[in-house]
Structure 1
């Protein structure tokens, strides 16, 4: 019997390790989606820079999270023997890998907002401190119960803050950190002339669409595999993700008046919003949540581009991740209620306060990090370097031979 129990335990541990490893690989592949979404949106002279930023930021994020960030969030480190680290088929190591892919999404989100005019090395330095300190501080508050924050919310409002897959922890935090970076960086030269907006057209709609599709498919690993074990997996998460994606797409189609950029960002807006409550909502609630997010993205992105002359968010990462993520955190406290078809166990006030806390941490941390880095080493390319493009100015090579 002991042999049988041991065999079953080994099988469960191995299956859980494989499960979360597949999730980590799917979310890792989403970074290719970030890259191609940016490549397709920026002007041709900045495509190489977009590709290089995403993969290099992932490398920096790995070092920051492995040595500092994971310890800040969970109080665990990897300074033990390999034999200890491989206990339970190395599940803890693969869990780190999975959560790392979430952490590394923060610089990838920021990258889209500050595209076309940012210096390379200062932003890598900033990415290190964001992933080492700012992001894991809030991650630990919510997903590890650090400093008694979740217990306080539960005692005060009857339920802790619920964020199953990161509408607030990942997306809103990333979007509002990006807000700080974009504000500190300033607008691209020539974006407004004589008080009128000059539209910089995307360089490659097929690449933009490819990036959106990669992100959309990977999101089912992002959301579903946030269960982290086989026994906790739920088909409800998968179908809610699907419905939110569809809702975001269709409303972006209508509100965005057939614009392909809006249409391909619509599903991403819906998926950002449903992360928090994807394990609680009824599919119809998820559809409504995604649809509102799709319309919110189109409306706020259009308004910001036309009215905020000093706030130049190239890919619209603040409305997409920051605002749609905020809506998702709040929506979990609405459509997660049993009275609206959800599974319950949530409090609207806890969701509201927890969501606002994430924004506060992101803004304070973002302005501190980018402000300090900017004082030590300016974040902006010179006007001439920006005119020539980040590809030639930073990497000394263009995306195609025509740029040589």
Structure 2
């Protein structure tokens, strides 16, 4: 993801007929060059297609989480994944988008000027933005299609963050309490860190205020999306506590999911959508770096999967399908931040490390922290998201990212290219994620649990029966009956 960076420039001319077919892009008020007009419109189409691919990832998340959970909770788990899209979308449409991106402009798609300004803070220390509430007012008139396309892309990213805790909190989260989370995430939780980074806020500007490389750099969201969701998943799991029967005498017990093939199919859907997640974050089809991004994404996914297969086989003697899935997802999460800034060999290294890291993290979360995460969301998105953020500061080679965050750098450079400052910016982002952002999510769940009648966890009886009938009024698999109390 980028802030105001590249304008389209063309090396070839096109016929005058283009002017008639594409007279002007809304928001690019003075554009008359037909090549530039066409490039802007192609870029906007690229962003909308990318948004659709990211939104389709919700199907993948729903299948992975439902497959990893028990049949008696299937309707409840898949419904949380379905409903969080609408809940988060509504809140982001109303207030979240302006708070995060009110000072954002993207000339590559025709949004030449920011739609608003700072709401809290200013300059290097902007914390929240304003402009375009409900996508209305002057911002809609001046931004037009470009603004709406940008919103669609950004709301897809927010939705990914919102859905991550539905995995770590599955099988024991009250429906009503979940709904409040969806609204909170879209309206404030996700927009806060997004404003500080992608929105051009204080972390993005740390290149100027703290002389840290090009400032916090996160191309497609290892931190802004995945780690933000991952620390919320951790906070929610702490507040809820483990599922009934997960720990016996302090030892974790296996609670197998009911449909591994569903989870694996969901993972392939996520892999497909991730190309929209990462490659379209150029915000420009005319920026051919998207090909490097796409290749790095696939490389990290493959190496993550293979590394996890080898590592879990070494650890347990069997190539656990669930760990295969999480290994591929770990590679995808980890490469999301550095995908535009690293060489293919580095993408392979990042994916392989993530494939091992996620397995060790799952064991640590269960065996040492005694936390119950049915799908491994804390490890996949939280731990590997943080690793992805740091990977920018380690592996970025300086070949891409000139002027990133408005800085004067010729390219984003990590430790291998001799820039200690960039690693400092990435480390600062990780510290903020693990303290401030985690603290906000923990406070939210803790306060919600305190002031919700009966707390945010389902009753023991409902959990044992399965949340489908008590919470949703239907069963995911009616032919299974209601006799299971596993």
* Same fold flag (TM > 0.5): yes
Whole-Å separation in 1 of the counterparts to 2:284 and 2:268: 26
Whole-Å separation in 2 of the counterparts to 1:194 and 1:348: 42
Whole-Å separation in 1 of the counterparts to 2:87 and 2:159: 9
Q: TM-score, normalised by structure 1?
A: 0.93
Which residue, 224, 228, 231 being the options, matches 2:286?
Answer: 231
Q: 1:156 is paired with a residue of what secondary structure? A: coil
Structure 1 residue 42 displacement after superposition: 0.1
Which string of whole-angstrom CA distances, capped at 9 and with x for unpartnered residues, describes residues 185-233 of structure 1? 1111111223332210110111010111111111011000011122224
Structure 1 residue 265 displacement after superposition: 1.5
Structure 1 residue 247 displacement after superposition: 1.3
Whole-Å separation in 2 of the counterparts to 1:320 and 1:80: 33
Structure 1 residue 294 displacement after superposition: 0.7
Question: In the alignment, is the contact (CA less than 8 A) between 1:270 and 1:290 conserved in 2?
Answer: yes
Structure 2 CA distance for partners of 1:206 and 1:86, relative to 1, 3 Å: farther
Question: In the alignment, is the contact (CA less than 8 A) between 1:269 and 1:294 conserved in 2?
Answer: yes
Structure 1 residue 56 displacement after superposition: 0.6
Whole-Å separation in 2 of the counterparts to 1:39 and 1:254: 26
1:366 aligned residue = 441
Whole-Å separation in 1 of the counterparts to 2:87 and 2:139: 26
Question: In the alignment, is the contact (CA less than 8 A) between 1:191 and 1:199 conserved in 2?
Answer: yes
Structure 1 residue 83 displacement after superposition: 9.9
1:241 matched to 2:297: yes
Question: In the alignment, is the contact (CA less than 8 A) between 1:134 and 1:361 conserved in 2?
Answer: no
Greater helix content: 1
5+ residue gaps, structure 2: 1-15, 21-31, 103-130, 314-318, 400-409, 415-421, 482-486
Which string of whole-angstrom CA distances, capped at 9 and with x for unpartnered residues, describes residues 326-346 of structure 1? 11111111110359xx96445
Which structure ranks higher in relative contact order (CA pairs < 8 Å, sequence separation ≥ 6)? 1
Whole-Å separation in 2 of the counterparts to 1:276 and 1:80: 28
Which residue, 318, 324, 334 being the options, matches 2:384?
Answer: 324
Structure 2 CA distance for partners of 1:62 and 1:81, relative to 1, 3 Å: closer
Which string of whole-angstrom CA distances, capped at 9 and with x for unpartnered residues, describes residues 230-258 of structure 1? 22241111111111111101110011111
5+ residue gaps, structure 1: none
2:306 aligned residue = 250
Whole-Å separation in 2 of the counterparts to 1:85 and 1:151: 27
2:51 aligned residue = 24
Question: In the alignment, is the contact (CA less than 8 A) between 1:135 and 1:362 conserved in 2?
Answer: no
Whole-Å separation in 2 of the counterparts to 1:158 and 1:77: 31
Question: In the alignment, is the contact (CA less than 8 A) between 1:70 and 1:136 conserved in 2?
Answer: yes
Whole-Å separation in 2 of the counterparts to 1:402 and 1:57: 27
Structure 2 CA distance for partners of 1:84 and 1:133, relative to 1, 3 Å: closer
Which residue, 425, 429, 442 being the options, matches 1:350?
Answer: 425
1:133 aligned residue = 188
Q: Which moved more, 1:353-362 or 1:363-372?
A: 353-362
1:314 matched to 2:369: no
Q: Which moved more, 1:348-357 or 1:77-86?
A: 77-86
Which residue, 223, 232, 254 being the options, matches 1:168?
Answer: 223
Question: In the alignment, is the contact (CA less than 8 A) between 1:41 and 1:201 conserved in 2?
Answer: yes
Whole-Å separation in 2 of the counterparts to 1:51 and 1:130: 19
Which residue, 39, 44, 62 being the options, matches 1:12?
Answer: 39
1:301 matched to 2:362: yes
Structure 2 CA distance for partners of 1:317 and 1:402, relative to 1, 3 Å: same
Structure 1 residue 51 displacement after superposition: 1.2
1:379 aligned residue = 456
Q: TM-score, normalised by structure 2?
A: 0.78
Structure 1 segment 198-213 matched on structure 2, within 5 A? 198-213=253-268
Whole-Å separation in 2 of the counterparts to 1:394 and 1:13: 47
Q: Which moved more, 1:171-180 or 1:346-355?
A: 346-355
Structure 1 segment 28-47 matched on structure 2, within 5 A? 28-47=55-74
Structure 2 CA distance for partners of 1:80 and 1:279, relative to 1, 3 Å: closer
Whole-Å separation in 2 of the counterparts to 1:28 and 1:107: 12
Which residue, 66, 73, 77 being the options, matches 2:100?
Answer: 73
Question: In the alignment, is the contact (CA less than 8 A) between 1:130 and 1:366 conserved in 2?
Answer: no
Structure 1 residue 54 displacement after superposition: 0.8
Which residue, 61, 83, 86 being the options, matches 2:88?
Answer: 61
CA RMSD in angstroms comes to 2.2
Structure 1 residue 34 displacement after superposition: 0.4
2:158 aligned residue = 103
Whole-Å separation in 1 of the counterparts to 2:272 and 2:426: 27
